[in-house]
Structure 1
Amino acid sequence: MNVYMLIVSQTIFYIVSSVAILVVGVSLVIVMYYLICILRDTRNISSDINETYKKVKRNIKKIISLFSKK
């Protein structure tokens, strides 16, 4: 009986702690994003995402072209 209670309590502890770590991580990412936005004086998320997408796409094309030349 005690072994099963220990297993159940440890399982619940691991589930709760992993959810708490995920919540803290996501909130840290959101806080860091808004701090960067305040420093850059922009809060338009869609324009930032579009700029980042274009930069990543351009860099991937450069990398692919470097490998395709050989």
Structure 2
Amino acid sequence: NPETRGFQVVKRRWVVERSIGWIMMHRRLARDYETLTASSEAMIHIASLDNLTRRITNETTPTWRGTY
């Protein structure tokens, strides 16, 4: 609403931010290395499928966060 000032809660925004966070865990998507937008889109689909299969199979793998 343009008439309201200050902070406003955007409904379901956390879902989008969480999804982007999951996708960014894939190293190749942390930077924009792709020259074609189709390649970037394909990598996002691959990362999403990888996250989905990990959640379905309950597989855990060590990440860079656990090394410190």
For the aligned pair, the TM-score class normalised by the smaller chain equals 0.3 to 0.5
Higher helix share goes to which structure? 1
- TM-score, with normalisation over the residues of structure 2? 0.37
- TM-score, with normalisation over the residues of structure 1? 0.36
